[in-house]
Amino acid sequence: QTSFILLQVAFKMYLGVTASVSCSSAAGNEFSLILDKNPLVDFVEELPAERASLCYCNLLCGVIRGALEMVHLAAEVTFLQDRLKGDAVTEIGITFLRKAEDRKHKRN
């Protein structure tokens, strides 16, 4: 639950974007971030036909995954829907691969 709130606050602070969270699993290890707008697509009008498979906003997935790894949370982050590809919303799916472990470091 705390991770969801932190992601929402981070998107608002660093990108100026409001992200809503939609939990998609009973176990609580999968959820989606739905962005009201995506600042990375403001400067892209249309993807060229020969580059239709390009995931222009995949940078956000890497940033989220890296930030979660910094706090020892392994996650798979993928784009589920993208406005650049004609979808209604921008949706990023996040799946936690394992639970956070509380580690106590021994001093030598």
Q: Which residues lie closer than 8 Å to 92 by C-beta, 6 or more apart?
A: 32, 33, 35, 60, 61, 64, 77, 78, 79, 80
Write down the number of H helices and E strands in the chain.
Answer: 2, 4
Whether 104 has a pLDDT exceeding 80, the answer reads no
pLDDT of residue 106: 46
Residue 30, CA distances (Å) to 11, 56, 57 in order: 18, 23, 20
Whether 100 has a pLDDT exceeding 70, the answer reads no
Q: What is the pTM of this model?
A: 0.75
Whether 44 and 57 have beta carbons less than 8 Å apart is answered as no
What's the pLDDT tens digit per position in 45-99?
Answer: 777 788 777 777 888 899 889 888 888 889 999 989 888 777 888 899 999 887 6
What's the pLDDT tens digit per position in 2-50?
Answer: 666 777 788 788 878 888 888 767 777 888 889 888 877 777 777 778 8
Domains of the chain: 1-37+49-95 (3.30.1380.20)
